Amino acid sequence: MAKGEVKSCLLCGVGGQGTVLASRIIAAAAMAKGLRAKTAETIGMAQRGGSVVSHVRIGEEIASSMIPLGTADVIIGFEPGEAAANIKYLKEDGVLILSSKQVKPVTASLGQSAYEGDTCLQWLQGKGSRCLIIDPDEIIEACGSPKVLNVAMTGALAASGAMGLCMEDMEAALKTRMKPGLLEMNRKALHMGAQCAAER
């Protein structure tokens, strides 16, 4: 990173998808490189199914942990509708990393609103300079757990190069954030996510 440069990544999803842990892994990867990192969360309903947004900012001088609108280098969307709701944070030449897995929001489940995840995905593909859509089903099946999606998305981030973090940085961060018994499964997810992004 250039002197004085700040990189920003916004992660958005719903409760239970591991959005906050993913943000901690990214921050840990940056700090392992000797960079400063700040994180912040805004969490909607305090139950599974509510919106969760995490801000990660990396650089020598970070004025605020919250990302200003239109300045995020990357948005990682764990859910298409949540990504669409937060697209206002992405800068014009930013990178979108999206999971195609749709999670029906609570309001739609209660019949208060309609939800078309496929429409959100199609609309989002025209945003930013790159849009990397990750199909999580193969990754989840290969790793044996739906809980690895968040780590796979950080692998896709490393492969994109958009935050100046590489796979070695992410692997080092995993070791500090994962129990030893879960490390190998998550390392596999990390590499599968990176491969998916590289193929896009």
Query: Which DSSP letter does residue 140 get?
Result: H
Q: What's the sign of the alpha-carbon dihedral 27, 28, 33, 38?
A: positive
pLDDT digits (tens, 9 = 90+) for 66-85: 999 999 999 999 999 999 99
In order of 10, 78, 145, the CA distances from 96 in angstroms are 10, 11, 24
3-state DSSP assignment of residue 167: helix
Instruction: Identify the residue whose tokens are 């596999």.
Output: 188
CB 29 within 8 A of CB 163: no
pTM: 0.91
pLDDT digits (tens, 9 = 90+) for 95-121: 999 999 888 655 455 455 566 668 888
Q: How high is the pLDDT of residue 54? A: 97
The mean pLDDT value of the chain amounts to: 89
Q: How high is the pLDDT of residue 118? A: 80
Please, which pLDDT band fits residue 3 given cuts at 50, 70 and 90? Answer: confident
Among residues 28, 156, 14, the alpha carbon closest in space to that of 95 is found at 156
As a whole number of angstroms, the distance between CA 36 and CA 195 comes to: 28
CB 185 within 8 A of CB 141: no
Question: Residue 193: enclosing H or E segment and its boundaries?
Answer: helix 180-199
Q: How high is the pLDDT of residue 176? A: 92
Which amino acid, 23?
S
pLDDT digits (tens, 9 = 90+) for 7-28: 999 999 988 899 999 999 999 9
Which tokens go with 172? 């080092």
